[in-house]
Structures are given as structure tokens and as C-alpha cells.
Structure 1
Amino acid sequence: MKNLKFKSLMNNVYTMLLLGISLAILMPGCSRRFFRNRADNEVHQILATKDKYANWKLEQFHLLPDPRARFASAGNQDRPAMPPDDPASMAMAPNPQKPGKYGIGHMEGSGYIDLLSQYDSENRSAVAIKVPKEIDAPFKLVSFKQDGINYLDNLDPDKGPFDSMGLTYKGDPAGRYDHPFLIKLEQSCELGLVNSRDFQFRRENVYLAALPVTLQRFAFAAQFYANEVAIRERANSETVANNTNRWNVASEAGFTKTFSTGALLLFRYANSIVVDMAGNGGTQIRTPSALSLDLFQPLFRGGGRAVTLEPLTLAERNLLYEMRSYARFRKEFYADIVVGGSPVVFSTPATVASASRFNSVFGSGLGGAGNVQVTPGEGNGYSSTSQVFPARRDGYLPAVLKAGLLQNERENVRDLSTTLDQYKEMQAIGDQSELQVSRILQQLLTFKTSVITRELSLRDALDRFKYQLGLPIDLPLELDRAPLEPQLAQLARYSNLVDEFKKTRQESRKLNDPKKVDQLRKGLQTILRESDFVKGTQFKEKLPKRWAEWEAMTKEELAAKLKEINIRRLELQESKADFERKGKQQPSTEKLELGEKDFEFFLGRFERNLRLYEQKVNWLRNGVDDQLNQFENLIEDFLLVLVEPRNEKLDKTRKSWPNLPRVCVDGVDLLKTEIDEALFAGCRHALTNRLDLMNGRAQLMDSWRQIAVSANALQGVMNVEYSLLGTSPANVAQPVNFNAGSLRHRLILTGDLPLVRIQERNAYRATLINWQRQRRNLMAFEDTIIEDVRNEIRSLRASSQTYDIQKLVVELAYLVLDNALETTYAPSKPGGGGGTQGNNESAQAAFTQQLLGAQSSKLSAQNGLFTIWIDYLSARTFLYRDLELLPLDPRGVWIDEIETCHCDLPAKKPAETVTNLRSIPNGAEGTRGGPASFLLPPRKISLK
């Protein structure tokens, strides 16, 4: 008998020991990776169900950083390597956590270096940029595996350990790079998707906004629970327990379920296994059990769908807001990469809602209610590390503009340095004074200072741009100048035109040989027929015939013809002046005739003076050799003949000016249509399609719903509860022996008068104030959008007009500078004692001032042209960002289809009244915005 008792006791001990071991294994729960993956899967499923509208498609979204990013996260995500600690903090505080098997590592990726190397290789091969002589060696990079493991090969984010995450950039003191990385605008956008800290931060915000949705959805699911308590008790006879020797294992399981009306269902099964080994009859086993079912429904306070579903509603809507904000951010990110700046993004704090549960089942003394693990409104938001260092924005286009301005300044210094050398040569032969040389030197030093300032500005802009892309600040970077290429090509055309004309002048002056006067005509004919300046012109084709007509005339016929042409020419010039005084345009027929008469007059006069020169008439004047002066007069007439091909080439060059990209919306050309119609079309489209405005209107609805939720808390408490309790026999081992006789039913009514509601009253009043504020905020936001769009449209129209003016300014700057150089460097006349102006110091000063002014005007015109061009591109980008018309490709680059998708559309009919502008359905069915969700009451505004 004793052996039997001992054996039974040992069996009970083994059972309890096995049960304890099982609990010790199961209680810690699943692994970190399991919970992380479960959270990821639920979030991805939720996002997939929400991602159904094309206008805010969730693109370029991934929670883990791109493996090529500088902040890539390799290795075990749940147990990352310990980062290096601050020595003082480590020494002055406990250090309970140790590095573990993954050690200590500074995590910084290097994949972006490979991406930059690829971009650089492609770009330099495509544009065939000549590397400076000192770095003529082929571009190569040192191995980026020398400082650690290249984790990019076969990356598995959950595999480790690792020593480092590739290259930790240490600067370039030893010449790690042969030359800067050359990247284009499109590549900058793609690199930003990979490497921008701001972009990754916004991706994580979307994920964090989805986590409350998982929680609030779970709050309405059946929540199961199970717990167990094992007690081994032994007491001697002299204790209060009086010779106790027993095991007691108490178990409880059940579930809770919350309904949308606020009702709560609790089901619980409790069992206790008592093994008493101190009884007189030997070991006794008892298994008393209890089965309970409670149904709780608040009728007033805390009851109803409006209150109960509010936390879930807000969580779902906040996720939608964040998805739309993310889609909006992608466009803003492109605009920031391209243009820079710090745009103000409208944002209102997310409304926080929690169901009113005062004196309800949640947290009350109802048995078993504590097992409600997640209640509606609990954990509605998750805090995250804030963006401590907001990105400083400078943008690609501003940096390229600064590079263009620096190039202009450097070219200006080179040109002025050449001028200084020529002035020194002229000073050596007495054609210029020391004062004029000093003035040129003074201006040159001033321009050199400007070069230093421009270079400093460019370097600062590049550093800010690298920061924006998440690149190391000391990484060498060079931006492709493609945005300025159209203007650079146009300036090159003007420069070539001026150089060709200058070369023609030089070739004509080389014919000055008094001993070869008989060869002068042939030489000039050769220039007029074969020089580069006349190639490709109609002048070259018609000149021989027209000049032959003048050559065939006698002296008297030539004089009569010149007189006739000049009379008609003066009449046409007077007619032109009359039209200009009246503010009208001269008829095109008269313009053409005037041009023809000018050319005929210049050609005839040139033929007359050429004959006189060939006859050596007036070579001697007052006993002084005047041949050079006569030759210069002849060359001046010769150059006047070249005015026609010059104008012809200028007309061709003018037609080569790059056109400004068009600006259209909904079939309305915002640059060419009437200003009021353009402003209305832009504002209408913005108010209809702006994603952040959709969020603002939806958040106004959130504030409106909070009024009813807060008012619910002002009511009294009236709860209805039904309770069912069943028990099994207490002194036997029959844990599931429930019968009708052991069941107990209870119906409980609980009431509480609303005598003290000061906290709830204050909350309700604050809710009403918040509602009014939200209304005003939305009005202000709409006004801000309208103001921004109107300003941007007006700015674009002004830039378009300024661009047309600046084209003429640039052309004149080149021609005026060429004329100033020609005047300054014209050969000396005999008897003048040096220079075209002789030794007249005031004349020298005047010509020097003219030259310096023309040089400065050219620089100012070039810089103004670049600035207007870049400003226009920037304003256009900002406008289409604010119009929500920046569709992006997978690289994050704007798919600029304005020309085909908006300019060629039939224009929408203008609204009958301006008051309809704010009544546009935000995202009405059939439009780009998604489902119709909100209509604002009309409010009269002015668009003038």
C-alpha cells in the first residue's frame, strides 16, 4: 500500500514537473522574428487593400532600406550589432546589455558608391567629357571591400553575423577617386529614392500609420486567453493550514468579443485540480470547475456605434491620410531634388479618438473583464524617433545655375585678361596710356573676386545637395549641365557668328597693300563669296549678279542710281519713324523694300569708293599720305555690305532660341490665354486634385465626428448585463459535469446619474473649439493653395515675357561688345600719333569705358539669361507640383507629358461664376481624385 502511494506520489510529481517545464518553454512566447514577420504581413495586407486609387498609388514603398543605401541594414534585424557607445556614457552608467555574438559594428553601406560609379561611367562615355590632363588616366575606384565585407552580394537581411557593412567613408585625402562622380538630374532622383533619409522616414511613417489599424481591427475580433497557476503547498500540524500537503493547479481559458454597438461578450472556463496528499483516506483528487458567460451593453454613455467605432474609423482614415501624404511627398521630393527650397506642407495634427468607457465594463469590477486584452481606442498611435536633422535643400537646378554663372565669370576673366594683354601691347607703342591699362587691370581684379565668390557659392550648394541625397558631404560630386545645354548652345551660336564676322574683318584688312591695289577687288570678291561668314546664306547666291550690275555702270550712271535709291530709302525711313511714333508696325512690304534699298545703296557706294581707291584718288591730302585712312573708309563700306548676310544669319540664329516648355492644364495654355481664365483653370484643378487638401477636408470631418463622441461622455450611465454561471461538483473529479441545476442566471441594471461631469464638459467644449479651428484651417489652406497657384502662374507668365526681352538683350550684348572691340582696336590713322583717337586722353578713356561697359553687359546678359531659364523651369516644376500634376516613373522622375496630355485637350468650359470654384467635388467619381467624398459650401472669391 505504501509502495502504491509512493508510486502515485511520484507520478504526480513527474506530471507537475513536466507541466512546469512546458510552461517555462511556452511562456516566453514566439521569437522576435516571428512577431516582426507577423506585423509585416498584416501591414502589407492592409496596405494592399487600401492601395486601390491610381492617384495615390503606393509606389517605391519598402520598410527595409534599399541594400544600396548608405544606411542599409544588413544582418539580423532583430538582434543588430551593438553600435559604438559614447565612452563617458558607458563609464558613468550601468551596462546591462552586452554585444553578444554579433559584436560591435558601425553600420554604413557602400552600395551607393557602386551606383554612382555606374552613373559616372555611363555619363562620361555618353558625352565624351575630356578629363583634365592631370587626371588623364582611366577612371577607376579602389576596391570597396578593403574596409569590410561587401554585404550586397547575396544579401539576406536576416542572416548574420557581419563585421561591418562595407565601406565606411573616410574622405579622400589619399586620392581614392580619380575625379568627381558625374550624375544627371534623372540619376539624382533615382539615387534619392535609394539613399535619401527623408524618403525612408516617410516610408516608415506609412508603416507606423498601419500598425494602429491592425490593433483597432483586432479590438473587435474574438480575443482568446489562457493562464495557469501551479501551487505546491506543505504545512505542519501546528500551522493554521493544519497539516497540509497538496498540489493545486488552477487553469483558466476563454475569450472576449467586442461588438460595434459597444456590447462586450466574455466567456470563461476556470478549473482547479487539487491533489491532497494529507487526507485520512489517502491521496484525494478534486477538480472543481466554473463556466461563465457575461454579456454587457452600455445604453447611454459608452454605447452606440458612433462612439465604439470611432477609434477604428480614425485609424483607418489616418492610414489613408498617410498614404496620400506619402504620394504627395514623392512629388514634393522630386521638386526638392530638382529645385530645392523649403516648401510649406499643410499639416494638421491627427485627431485622437477614444471611446468613452467611464464606469463601463472596461476596467470596472466585473469579474473576468480584466481579460479584455485590447479595447477600442487603446494604443491608437505609436511614437517614433523624430527627424532630428531636417534635410537642407538646395536642389539640382540651382546648383547647375551656380555652375553656369561661375563658367560665365571665368570666361569673362579670360576675355578681360586678353584685353589687358592687348592694352599693354598698345601701351608699348603709345596707343594707350598707363591710366587706361590700370582701369582694365582694376576691372579684371574685380571680376576675379567675383569668380572666387561664385566658386564658394557652388561648393556650398553641392554640399547641401549631397546632404539632401544622403551622401557623405566630402564625396566628390559633379552635376551634368544638361538643363543649361540649350542656352549654352545658343550662346555658342552667337559667339561663332561674332567670331566669323571678326575673322572676315581681319581677312579684309590683310588686303591693305598699296603695291597690290589691282588685286584688292579680287580679294574682296573672294571674301564675299567663300568666307565662312557668308556660307549658307542667300546673300552668297544673289551677290555676284547684283554686284555685276553695279560694276557695269559708268561713273555717271552709278551716281544717278545711288541718288535715286537714297531718295526712296530716306522716304521709307521717314515712314518707319512715323509708324513708330504712332505705336504701329510698319507694313511688311515697306520693311522688305527698305531692306533691299539699304543693301543696294551700301553695295553701290562700296563699288563707287572701290573705284576711287583703285584710282588712288585722295591718297595724298594736304601733302600727307592718307592711303590708310582711305582704305579704312573703304573697309567700312565693305562691312556695311556684309550687314545683309549678318542680318540673315542673325535671323537664323534667333529662330534657334530654345522654346520655353509649355504650361497647360485641362486644355488651357496658362501662358497665352487671358490671365483671368488661366488663373481660374489653375486654381480649379488644384482644388480638385490636391492630395493634401483631400486630407484636410477629411480631417474636418474627423473633427465634426468628435463632437458627438465628446457629447456622449456627458450622459449618465445605464448598463445592462446578463450573467450566466455554472459550476461542477466541488469534491469530486468531474470538471465538466455541468447540469441545469447548477446554473445561475442574473440580469443586472447599472445606473449612474451625470452629477459630476466637469472633466467631460471641458473636453466637450474644447472639441467644439477644435471644430471651429479646423474649419478656419481648411479655409486658410484653400486660400494658401489658391495664392500659391496664382503667384506661380503670374510668375511664369512674367518669366516668359522677360525671356523674350532677354533674348534681345543677349544678342545686343554680343554685337555691342564686338563693336566696342572693333572701335578700340581699329588701326591707327596716319598723322595721328598713335591709335584711332590719337593721343587724346579723353577719347582713350571714352573707348575704354565703352569696352568695359560692353564686357560687363555681356556678362550680365549671360547671367540673366541663365537665371531666367532656370527660374522658369523651377517655377514650372513648383506649379505642377502644386497642381498635383507630377506623375513619376519608377525612378522617381517626372513624366513630363504636359505637351501631349494637357495642351492638346479641349479646354473645359469656364464656370458660370467664380463662386463655384470652391464647390468642386474633391476627387469626384470619374476624375483623378478617387471617390467623391466632400463638397464645400460655395464662398465667393476674386481671381483678379
Structure 2
Amino acid sequence: SLPTESNTLTTNTDIGFNRAFTTGGQLLVDFANSFVFEYTGPNRTSVSSNILINFVQPLLRRGWREVALERLTQAERDTLYELRDFARFRKILAVGVGTQGLGGGFLSLLLQVQNIRNLEANVNSLEQNLRLHQALLPIDVVAPIRVEQVFQSYQQGQLALLQARTNLENALDAFKIALGLPPAIPVRLDDALLAPFQLTDPALDTLQGEVDAFVARYRQLQQGQRNVAVLRQGYQQLQAFHGRALKLVDLVQAEIERWRQLPAPPDIDAERAQRQQTLLAQLGNQLALLRQKLEQFGPELDKAVREIRPEQLPQGWERLLDLSRQLSDRLGELFVIQTQVRVYLIRLPAITYELDEAISYALEHRLDLMNQRGRVVDAWRQITVSADRLEADLDVVFNANIGTEPGSDNPFDFSALGSSYRIGFQFDSPLNRKAERNIYRASLVNYQRSRRAFMLLDDQIQQAIRRDLRQLRTDRLNFEIARESLIGAARQLEEARERLQADQVTEISTQDVLNALTNVLQAKNALISIWVSYLTGRAQLLLDMDALQLDERGLIRDEHRQPTDQPAATLGAPVPPPGRQTDP
């Protein structure tokens, strides 16, 4: 080659790493390597390696664990806060969907369903009342204005029923949208919770309506239509009514026995329990007396059939109407007894928590209160971090520059005399810390703000628990009052019906029946409304206590329902968590 020609190959390698320590120290290591291959002359090879090490350990400002790991600590705690918020959100969502919250709520829909059933029963009663008045009109027992008055009430009942059905359809569409479903998807509400509110057996309602229609039909028959064949047919139909009535008495007797076997609710006072036991005994005696009357009614009916004579047709006809009215009265008594029994078979889910116990449980297990308490700790920790920034900078500094001998062919021969090692302290006085001082003062304010927010949430939780328990006590008392009101309205209706069977229907008797039907409807609606309000308040109490647990489907789990509770208790029951939850 030419003397000025140079043929060389050079490779450079540079690798390194840095590491932050929990004490706040920083370590930087860099390794540089270079190979030079020369192909001219004697074909020499030269290697050059160099290691740079830089280590800084703060002793005051930005030093040590509580400051160095602050961001990681806060990130971990924020993750925990989000998990708690999500867990509580699921409970809030479950209670809202299940009661009267999101989209109206499931219980709100059941309330409307039961109101519609009450309206349907009211319309049926108004229709029977209208037919009875229409049947009595041709024989001049009732004035035409009374018929028009009953017809007007019947029309108003139909209008209310139609509007209630429309409102239910609208509410159901809103509920489906709240659940994320298209409103056109057909759904069916599970109304099993409403089974206890069937206060009279449908067979009893049907039989009572048939007997009333029978009495009205036979009363309006003209003299020429009254013959022995028609009379015998009437007695046969009355005998069939009598057999059905005896079966209904057996049904009511079984319900009384079921009531008698139920234990008293755990939260009922002694006086109220005694009243219920007294009423239970009275209803048992009344049913036994009613059974005796119906058993005596059979032989009387058979005797009347045997005594049918063509020459005694008027007496036989009057006897038929009299026995029909007696049977109607007995069915009315059975209606009142069964209504009372079934009303008292409805049980409200018990709340066994006392005020202090409920508040203590809530303050220990409320997830949002845990988060707020944790944020107070975070704010206090920020004071420490902010105070650290006001300190002087005092760092331990170590530097090393280690290299190989020039011309060496060993890349790891770090024995060069030119290598350098330095260690020392670096100091910066805290003379200018105005910005840091403002941050420190702001952290003090934020701590006080977080502390007061925690105290406010603590007070709000206690206030919510106290409000929930008060409302539950009020609803329970209102439910007892609604029971008595419904029983009184049922008795009033039966008495009004008995007066309506008289030979002369007056304005007072007609208005009494209409008022009684209205009172029964209002009492039924009040009963279901208070029941829904109680279940909603109970679920809200357990939510405020954070005593609800959800299953894998997100539905409220009820593992501690009392055997006397209705299935509606599945809307929430206190379930202690598996262990004590503490803030980290």
C-alpha cells in the first residue's frame, strides 16, 4: 500500500444503567469500549475501555424513604381508593335498581303493579254494585238517580285503571332504558313479592259476586216468572254456593293455623304482640262460629227444598231470598275474617340494629369513609414532603472514572494510572425557598380541609343512620295503622253491602257502598305504599351502614333473613364482612 494510506476498523460500544434507591440515592454507571484494528504497517490492535460511576445520596432535602417513595405510595393508595369507590358504586347501583332509584326502581314498578291490581278489584266491585242496582231498578227498589250515581263511579274507576296501566308501561320503558335495554324488548316483572297482598282468595270474591247477582236476579223476577221449577233451580244453585263456602272456610282455617305457628317478630313490643294474639283468638272464634252457622245452614236449606209446595210458592220464594241473603252475609263475614288474617300474615323484614350499634358498624365499614380517612393521612404525609423541600441540600457525592492503559489489548485491564476517584459533600443553603414555603403552607391548609371533610362525612353518616332508623320506625308504625285502616274499611264495606240487600235502597246506602269501596282501595294502596317505603328505607339503611354484600351477578345477597320475613327481605340484609377492614 501507499505510505499515506490508512486502513483501520473501529468499533465503539457504550452501555450503562441507572438506579434509584428507596433512600433517595441515585446511581449512574456507564461503560464505554472502543476497538481499533489497523491493517497498515505492523497490523496493530488497540483497545480502550472506560467506566464512569456517579452516585449521589441526599442527606437532607429529597432524601430518605418517606420522600423518595411518595409518588409510588400515593399511586398505590389511589388504586385502593378506586377499588373501594367501585365496590360502593356497585352497591349503590344495586339498591337504586332494586328499590325506587335508577329508572324508577324495581320496587316502584311492583308498587304500580299492585296499585293496578287494587284498581282492578275496585272496578270489579263497582261493576257488581252497578249490576245489582240495575237489577233492582225494574222492581222499583232503587231510584234511577242511584243507578246513574253508581254508573258514574264505575266509569271513574275504569278511567283510573286505564291511566294506571299507561303509567306502568311508561315506567317500565324508563326502567329498561336505565338498565341499558331497548324499550321495545318485552320483559316480565317477577311479582312473587306481591303474593302476600292477595288479601282475599279469588274464589271468595267470585262466589260473593255470584251470590249477590243471584239475589238481585231472583228479586227482580216478575210474578208470572215465579214457579216451582224456577224455585227448585234456585235452591239447587244455593246448595252449590253453600258447598263452595264450606271449602273456603277450611282454607281460612288453614291460614289462621299458619299465623298461629309463626313466631312473633323480634322487634315487636309486648303490648302489640298481645293485641295480635288477642285478635288471633277472636278471629279463630269468629271463624268457628261462622262454620257452625254454615253447617246449620245446610239442614235449613234441605228442609226448605223438601217443603216446596205449589200452593206455598210465595212463602217458598221469600224463604229462598232470605236464605240467599243469609249466605251473602256469611260470605261477607268470611271476607272480613280472611282479610284480617292475610293482612297480619304480611311481615316486614326485621331490623335488629340499635342506633349505637348501627353507627359503630357504619363508621368501621363504610368504604367511602375509609377513603376519606386515607386522604387525611395522604394530606398529612404531604406536609412532611413539603417540609422536606424547605431543608438545605446536603448530598454525598461519589464519582469514579476508571480506564484501561493506553495501547493495551485487554479491554478489562482497568489499571490505568489516570483513573480518578472522588468523594465529597455538596451543600446548598436554604436561603431562597419562597416557592417551597408557599407549597408547605398550602399543604397545611389542604390537611385541615381534608380533616374537616372527613369529620363532615363522619357526621353525615351518623345523620343518615339516625334518619334511616327513624323512618323505619315510622314506616313500621304506619304499616300497623294501615293494617287497622284496611280492616276497618273491609268491615265498613261489608256492613254497607248488608244494608244494600234491604228492600229499599236509599241514597245513604248507595253512597255508603261507594265510600266503602273507595276507602278499601285507599287502604290497600296505603298498605303496599308503606311496605315499599319500608323495604326501600331498610335497603338504604344497610347501604348507609355498608352492610350489603353482592353476589357474582351484582344482586344483593341475603344470608341472614329471618324465617318470619317475607321474600322481599332479599332486597338487603346485614352481612358482616369476612374480616375487619382497616386503612393502610
TM-score (norm 1): 0.48
Q: Structure 1: which amino acid aligns with 2:468?
A: E
Classify the secondary structure of the residue corresponding to 1:726: strand
1:334 equivalent in alignment to 2:46: no
Quote the residue 1:534 is aligned against.
Answer: 246
**By how many angstroms is 1:309 displaced?**
1.9
Matched, 1:849 2:525: no
Opposite residue 304 of structure 1, the aligned amino acid is: W
Contact 2:397 2:423 in 1 (8 A): yes
Tell me how far apart the structure 1 counterparts of residues 563 and 446 of structure 2 sit (CA, whole Å).
42
Q: Work out whether 1:696 is the aligned partner of 2:346.
A: no
Is the counterpart of residue 255 in structure 1 residue 17 in structure 2? yes
Alignment of 1:363-442 (within 5 A): 393-413=103-123, 415-416=125-126, 435-436=145-146, 438-440=148-150, 442=152
> 2:179 aligned with 1:469, yes or no?
yes
2:386 counterpart residue number: 710
CA distance in 2, matches of 1:631, 1:867: 43
- Encode CA deviations 1:828-849: one digit per residue, 9 max, x unaligned: x4xxxxxx23xxxxx33x4443
1:743/1:429 CA distance change after superposition, 3 Å = farther
Residue of structure 2 in register with 1:661 after alignment: 349
Kindly indicate whether residue 553 of structure 2 is the aligned counterpart of residue 865 of structure 1: no
Pair 503,436 (structure 1): closer, same or farther in 2 beyond 3 Å: closer
Task: Give the aligned partner of residue 555 of structure 2.
Answer: 893
* Aligned residues of 1:534 and 1:645 also touching (Cα < 8 A): no
What's the CA shift string for 1:77-125, capped at 9, x where partnerless? Answer: xxxxxxxxxxxxxxxxxxxxxxxxxxxxxxxxxxxxxxxxxxxxxxxxx
Structure possessing the higher relative contact order (Cα contacts under 8 Å, 6 or more residues apart): 2
State the alpha-carbon separation in 1 of the partners of residues 496 and 278 from structure 2: 33
Aligned-partner Cα distance in 2 for 1:596–1:453:
39
Aligned-residue RMSD, C-alpha = 5.0
AA at the equivalent of 1:863: N
Superposed displacement of residue 252, structure 1: 2.4
Q: Unpaired runs of 5+ in structure 2?
A: 254-274, 308-313, 566-575
Which residue of 743, 764, 776 corresponds with 2:452? 776
User: Structure 2 CA distance, aligned partners of 1:758 and 1:795?
Assistant: 55
1:263 Cα deviation from its structure 2 partner: 1.1
CA distance in 1, matches of 2:140, 2:64: 103
TM-fit CA distance, 1:511? 8.4
Give the letter aligned to residue 930 of structure 1. R
| C-alpha distance in 2 between matches for 1:630 and 1:405 | 41
**Equivalent residue, structure 1, for 2:268:** none
Question: Bigger shift: 410-419 or 707-716?
Answer: 410-419
Count matched residues: 536
After alignment, is 784-793 or 415-424 more displaced? Answer: 415-424
Higher helix proportion: 2
SS of the residue corresponding to residue 104 of structure 2 reads coil
Q: Is the 8 A contact 1:260 1:308 kept in 2?
A: yes
Q: 1:436 to 1:641 in 2, by over 3 A?
A: closer
Q: Where does residue 571 of structure 2 map in the other structure?
A: none
Match of 1:491 in 2: 199
Please give the per-residue CA displacement for 1:433-466, whole angstroms capped at 9, x wherever unaligned: 6655554455455445544543443334333332
Q: CA 1:642/1:420 → structure 2, altered by over 3 Å: closer, same or farther? A: closer
The normalised TM-score by structure 2 is: 0.74
Map Cα deviations across residues 623-673 of structure 1 (whole Å, 9 max, x no partner): xx9998898677666766777766665665455x2322222xxxxx24xxx
CA separation in 2, counterparts of 1:597 and 1:482?
31
Structure 1 counterpart of 2:398: 722
Mapping for residues 777-926 of structure 1, pairs under 5 Å: 777-821=453-497, 823-824=499-500, 826=501, 829=503, 836-837=504-505, 843-844=506-507, 846-899=508-561
Amino acid at match of 2:17: F
Q: Give 3-state SS (helix, strand or coil) of 2:53's partner.
A: strand
Q: Which amino acid aligns with 1:723?
A: N
- The alpha-carbon deviation at position 709 of structure 1 amounts to 1.0
CA distance in 1, matches of 2:25, 2:564: 54
- Give the distance between the partners of 1:401 and 1:651, measured in 2 at CA: 21
Question: Is the contact between residue 537 and residue 648 of structure 1 (CA under 8 Å) also seen in structure 2?
Answer: no
Rounded to whole Å, the distance in 2 between the matches of 1:891 and 1:593 is 45
| SS of 1:295 mapped into structure 2 | strand
Please tell me the residue identity of whatever aligns with 1:746. R
The 5-angstrom pairing of residues 393-792 of structure 1 reads 393-413=103-123, 415-416=125-126, 435-436=145-146, 438-440=148-150, 442-487=152-197, 490-493=198-201, 495-503=202-210, 530-535=242-247, 537=249, 649=338, 652-653=341-342, 657-663=345-351, 669-670=352-353, 678-729=354-405, 735-792=411-468
Preserved CA contact (<8 Å) 1:302 1:712: yes
Counterpart Cα distance in 2 of 1:901 and 1:321: 38
Q: Deviations over 1:477-520 (max 9, x none)?
A: 33222222332xx3342x5434444545666788889977xx99
Tell me which residue corresponds to 2:572.
Answer: none
1:861 is matched by which residue type in structure 2? A
Letter in 2 for 1:891: R
Separation (CA, whole Å) in 2 of partners of 1:720 and 1:740: 26
Q: Which aligned pairs between 1:254-273 and structure 2 lie closer than 5 A?
A: 254-272=16-34
- Distance apart, 1:701 and its partner CA: 1.5
Aligned equivalents of 2:49, 2:58: Cα separation in 1: 30
Distance 1:870 1:862 in 2: 12
Tell me if the contact between 1:498 and 1:818 (Cα under 8 Å) persists in the aligned partners.
Answer: no
Q: Give per-residue Cα distances to partners, 1:207-250, cap 9 Å, x unaligned.
A: xxxxxxxxxxxxxxxxxxxxxxxxxxxxxxxxxxxxxxxx7x65
Whether the 8 Å contact between 1:400 and 1:481 is mirrored in structure 2 is yes
Q: Structure 1 residues 441, 734: closer, same or farther in 2, change over 3 A?
A: farther
Find the aligned partners of 2:385 and 2:327 in 1 and give their Cα distance. 92
